[in-house]
Amino acid sequence: MKIRNVENPKDFLSTRQSARHLQVSLGTVQKMVETGELLAWKTQGGHRRILMSSLEQLLKRRRLGIRERCGTQFLLLAVFRRQESFEEFTSLTTSWKSEVDLHLCADTLEALMQSVSLAPDVIYLDSAISPVEQVHLLHYLSKNTHTKHIPVLVESNFLKLHPQVLKVTADGSIDNKSRIGRKPSHNPMIRPYQKEALLLENGEINPRFSEKLEHLILDCMAKKCERT
């Protein structure tokens, strides 16, 4: 990381501006610089400056990655509350015919940051996550420019109890009553799934749920690719 004396304000962002733009923490931006995802330098005063072109290239790579993974390959971000569920879900995905790059999160705050950083193809929310956390996460995912087009799989009973999350529009507002003669719009990125046990009583993978979930994800991928 070189120290530069001349700066053009149009060519760079501060670490804080970059974090605000990506809606992630300062620590996440710093890690992205350290891993080479974002290019940066330091001023004589020791402040990081993120190249705007580097940030734009990162977003471009994500969009291209979506197109390349539109077949039987995808990046899945799964959010769970219990460690046991992590292990069970990992076992479940081993039976899939598709090639899956699986990332697991232990809470919704981490899930939000990882969604921006990783740009997953699909997000899976476990039904054990508290309703309040799920509502907040769905709201922020729908509001964030970089995550609002990511399909999110949500348990169907949760959606019946909290139908308002289906009405979250692209700008994060709630569309309770649209223009006269038109029904309130539903967020097409929120997709329901029927809750079933990940593993059977004998410890084997639940083949019915495994197959349903894989097909649902591939359907999300196909629809997502049609829009890109």
- Mean pLDDT, range 144-166, rounded to an integer: 89
> What is the spatial distance between Cα 214 and Cα 223, in angstroms, rounded to a whole number?
14
Question: Which of 119, 129, 132 shows the shortest CA–CA distance to 79?
Answer: 129
pLDDT of residue 89: 94
The mean predicted confidence, pLDDT, of the chain is 81
Same domain, 42 and 19: yes
Structural Rg of the chain based on CA atoms: 20
pLDDT of residue 188: 80
- pLDDT above 80: residue 137: yes
Q: What is the CATH number of the domain that holds 174?
A: 3.40.50.2300
Question: Which of 83, 63, 39, 94 shows the shortest CA–CA distance to 214?
Answer: 94
| 6 sits in which H/E element | none
In the block, tokens 């193809």 appear at 121
pLDDT digits (tens, 9 = 90+) for 192-221: 999 999 989 898 999 999 999 999 998 888
Higher-pLDDT residue of 178 and 92 is 92
- pLDDT above 70: residue 143: yes
- pLDDT above 50: residue 3: no
Same domain, 94 and 181: yes
Q: The whole model's pTM is what?
A: 0.66
Which amino acid belongs to residue 131?
P
Residue 64, domain member (yes or no):
no
Same domain, 35 and 100: no
Total number of domains in the chain: 2
Q: What is the CATH number of the domain that holds 39?
A: 1.10.10
